Amino acid sequence: MTSPAATKPAILSVDDDPGVSRAVVRDLRRRYGADYRILRAESGATALDALREMKLRGQPVAVLIADYRMPGMDGIEFLEQAMDLHPFARRVLLTAYADTSAAIDAINVVDLDHYLLKPWDPPEEKLYPVLDGLLEAWRSSEQRPVTETKVVGNRWSPRSSEVREFLARNQLPYRWYLAEEPEGARLLEAAGADPERCPVVITEAGQTLVQPTDGELAESVGLSTSPTGDFYDLIVVGGGPAGLGAAVYGASEGLRTVLVERTATGGQAGQSSRIENYLGFPDGVSGSQLADRARRQAAKFGAEVITTREVVGLEVNGSARTVRFSDGGRLCAHTVIIATGVDYRRHSAPGVDDFTGRGVYYGSAMTEASECSDHDVYIVGGANSAGQAAVFLSRHARTVNLVIRADSLDKSMSHYLVQQIEQIPNIRVHHRTEVISADGVDHLQRIVLRNNETGVEEKAEAERLFLFIGAAPQTDWLGGTIKRDEAGYVLAGPDLLVDGARPAGWELPRPPHHLETSIPGVFVAGDVHADSAKRVASAVGEGAMAVMLVHRYLA
């Protein structure tokens, strides 16, 4: 039987100086000993051993406090490895004044939450306020550790792939077992589940979900799936950078705000392994880290974040704006911001659709990276998302083949990414080339490439094909309620004026605000906006600007 103390979340302090270590633990126990297990270790290696044991036992870790200068393994190295074991633990670095530059670097390297200068006396002023804030953030986070969730499925099952991707994109830890392997078979037998009905998800509490929907998954792991109210000041539809930016600024400025996301916050940017041209992150930041920070920031200011709810319609009901959900529910607000972003276009080559989820993936399926070891993988696309995926997969795959129709990457990819790709020896760029067919038995096994300059066709063995072939706006749900351009992107502001005339049905005495659509009080932000810049920074900026215009509309 597990002791009550073992079930408490842990606060772990790591310092090679016994005197400092005892002092830290003394101060921590005095303040937090009643609610947390206070543990200490005198080396990074010893601390990692303790963290591994807690991981195996499913014991949560709330905060890690590591001294920067430790022999053998410094604090940054320790925190970097600890992230893999307990990614949701808050991370604090103890430094001397001379080491503050290293601490600042660690903010990007290990997603550091805070650094403390030694000495921290008095703790009531310098230690406890920092820890109180971090513990509150850890407790209120939607992404609490669920270390015992198990997913049992088949390697080439599309739904098994979707379940893993859903959990990964929502930063929910899980363990993956193949149904045909001994441990997977034992889990299915214990759960009384039919191997033919995979995937099977076994939650931390022992609940068995057979072929679960995303909504069932979300509810089982504690994600919010229903709003707490019926009427808000602002509904944000879409949880990419633009939507998250709007939620942060809307809630922080006093608007009762709810963000509705179909799958997982972060959008396409959330799938990026490393974004290196986003302001304030000189060493880059992963899309998932950026999305997690933004989501926590929005929640801190009081925004509600609702997942696995698909918006299928928009209505005007007097002064209210109403969004309709696919399950028949609806939600009303004074204003709406459309930030649904874009999705990758489907590839038309014969055979590609047959293997979607069975070797063919749209976007960077991060869960497949570990399966690419010692394999040749192919990526189709020449924009930043394809380049970021190529750099990331090059760490795992034997070779990464980047297939582009153009004669140069410079035409569509940021210069910094082009330079990186040129320096990675196992990335090959196939210019003026496209995939013309895909083939296999139960999964993708080969593709055919054609050089459009020479007309030469070439068969290639390939079990993984990642597609980044342009964007399609997620606006079909709008129907004819909002004016869009021929490609489906939402028109707003000056783009709605034809020869100075306001759009049909516009009854206000003023023209539409810059990001306001053809319906007053409904705004647009991010990639779904016609002629947007298609960059993370500009999407966040438009989300913030849209909130400013919401205030003008409400005034």
Query: Exposure of 83 by Cβ count < 10 A (0-12 exposed, 13-18 middle, 19+ buried)?
Result: middle
According to CATH, what is the number of the domain 4-140?
Answer: 3.40.50.2300
Report the range of poorest mean pLDDT among 146-150, 246-250, 509-513: 146-150
CA–CA separation, 483 vs 518, rounded Å? 6
| pLDDT at residue 98 tops 60 | no
| pLDDT at residue 372 tops 90 | no
553: number of Cβ within 10 Å = 16
> Is the CB of residue 440 less than 8 Å from the CB of residue 360?
no
pTM above 0.75, yes or no: no
CA–CA separation, 259 vs 304, rounded Å? 6
> Is the CB of residue 320 less than 8 Å from the CB of residue 231?
yes
What pLDDT is stored for residue 56 in this prediction? 47
Asked if the domains 150-220 and 231-343+472-554 are classified in one and the same CATH topology, the answer is no
At 539, the pLDDT band (50, 70, 90 cuts) reads very high
What pLDDT is stored for residue 145 in this prediction? 43
| pLDDT at residue 546 tops 80 | yes
Mean pLDDT of 340-363: 92
Query: Exposure of 120 by Cβ count < 10 A (0-12 exposed, 13-18 middle, 19+ buried)?
Result: middle
- Burial profile 220-250: b = 16 or more Cβ within 10 angstroms, e = fewer: bbebbeebeeeebbbbbbbbbbbbbbbbbbb
What pLDDT is stored for residue 57 in this prediction? 59
DSSP conformational letter for 484: B
- At residue 115, the 3 state secondary structure works out as strand
Pick the CATH number of 150-220 from 3.40.50.2020, 1.20.140.10, 3.40.30.10, 3.10.20.30: 3.40.30.10
Which tokens belong to 203? 């939650």
Alpha helices, DSSP H only, in 320-367? Answer: none
114: number of Cβ within 10 Å = 16
- The yes/no answer on whether domain 231-343+472-554 falls in CATH 3.40.50.300 is no
What pLDDT is stored for residue 446 in this prediction? 96
What pLDDT is stored for residue 146 in this prediction? 40
Which tokens belong to 28? 């921590």
| pLDDT at residue 1 tops 60 | no
CA–CA separation, 210 vs 301, rounded Å? 36
> Is the CB of residue 76 less than 8 Å from the CB of residue 93?
yes
CA–CA separation, 84 vs 159, rounded Å? 26
What pLDDT is stored for residue 348 in this prediction? 92
* CATH H-level, domain 353-469: superfamily: FAD/NAD(P)-binding domain (3.50.50.60)
- Burial profile 537-547: b = 16 or more Cβ within 10 angstroms, e = fewer: ebbbbbbbbbb
CA–CA separation, 74 vs 83, rounded Å? 14
The average confidence (pLDDT) of the chain is 89
194 Cβ partners below 8 Å, 6+ apart? 188, 210
88: number of Cβ within 10 Å = 19
pLDDT, one tens digit per residue, over 160-201 is 999 998 988 888 888 898 999 887 887 888 788 899 999 999
Which tokens belong to 135? 């513990």
Mean pLDDT of 122-129: 86
- At residue 110, the 3 state secondary structure works out as coil
> Is the CB of residue 337 less than 8 Å from the CB of residue 174?
no
The domain spans of the chain are 4-140, 150-220, 231-343+472-554, 353-469
At 109, the pLDDT band (50, 70, 90 cuts) reads low
Mean pLDDT of 272-291: 84
CA–CA separation, 482 vs 36, rounded Å? 52
Side-chain-side CA neighbours of 393 within 13 Å: the count stands at 34
| pLDDT at residue 498 tops 70 | yes
What pLDDT is stored for residue 105 in this prediction? 66
| Comparison of pLDDT for 199 and 68, the residue scoring more | 199
> Is the CB of residue 70 less than 8 Å from the CB of residue 94?
no
Task: For the chain, give the number of residues.
Answer: 555
- Prior bond of 509 cis (ω within 30°): no
